[in-house]
Amino acid sequence: MTASRVLLLPGWQNSGAAHWQSLWEAENGYLRVEQHDWMRPLRGDWVARLEDVVLEQAAASPQLAHPGLVLVAHSLGCLLVAAWAAHSRNTAFIKAALLVAPGDPERVELRGLLTSWSPVTQHRLPFQSRLLGSQNDPYCSLARAQLFAQTWGAEFIDYGQKGHINADSGLGSWPDGQAMVSALGRTK
């Protein structure tokens, strides 16, 4: 899979240097969708930025007129995929999405910080997707992650006790995740 075909969508506060998304960007040349404000994420701003990047990638690579981009989202980035897909007319450029450890903006401790992300988008994704949830994620219960997967039409994977499936989970460059991205990129 070529580097231009994978878009990395970090969550709130971005992904640090030891996060698997940052390692993948450095190792594979995947494109991180940079947001204007990582600390105060506004759903509308983030959706508009993703739309811009998808259109830029489509214009730069005409072969993407048929599904070709794979979205790899972490935490709030998962909710970004759902919100963007519910409103964009350009979802045909997306082949698949890997949604890892979605954040839950409706948790009491997050409500005041992520107000524009609630309620969570309730539309089925128009492309293949796989959602990984963790049994001990401090930002989203396993039951909520399963509900998001069901609502969005994503295949759900219980990834065990891996916290927020981030740098603190000790995944390094996370070969298992890279294999999932490759598999999603090969699907028809």
Q: How many domains does the chain have?
A: 1
Instruction: Check residue 55 and give its pLDDT.
Output: 95
- Distance from the first to the final alpha carbon of the chain: 14
Instruction: Check residue 3 and give its pLDDT.
Output: 47
Residue labelled with tokens 């701003």? 45
Phi-psi region of 88 (alpha: psi -120 to 50; beta: other; left: phi over 0): beta
**pLDDT tens-digit series, residues 27-64:** 999 999 999 999 999 999 999 999 999 999 988 877 65
Going by C-beta distance under 8 Å and a sequence separation of 6 or more, which residues neighbour residue 172?
20, 23
Question: CA gyration radius for the chain?
Answer: 15
For residue 157, give the CATH number of its domain: 3.40.50.1820
Q: Comparing 90 with 59, which gets the higher pLDDT?
A: 90
Domain that holds residue 20: 3-186
- pTM score above 0.85: yes
Instruction: Check residue 62 and give its pLDDT.
Output: 72
**pLDDT tens-digit series, residues 93-129:** 999 999 999 999 999 999 899 999 999 999 999 999 9
What phi and psi, each to the nearest 5 degrees, are found at residue 142?
A: -60, -40
**Is 50 exceeded by the pLDDT of residue 1?**
no
Give the E-state strand segments of the chain in sequence order.
6-9, 31-32, 69-74, 94-100, 128-133, 155-158
Closest among 132, 49, 112 to 83, alpha carbons compared: 49
Instruction: Check residue 22 and give its pLDDT.
Output: 98
Return mean pLDDT, the chain: 94
Q: Within 13 Å of residue 84, how many CA atoms lie on the same side as its CB? A: 28
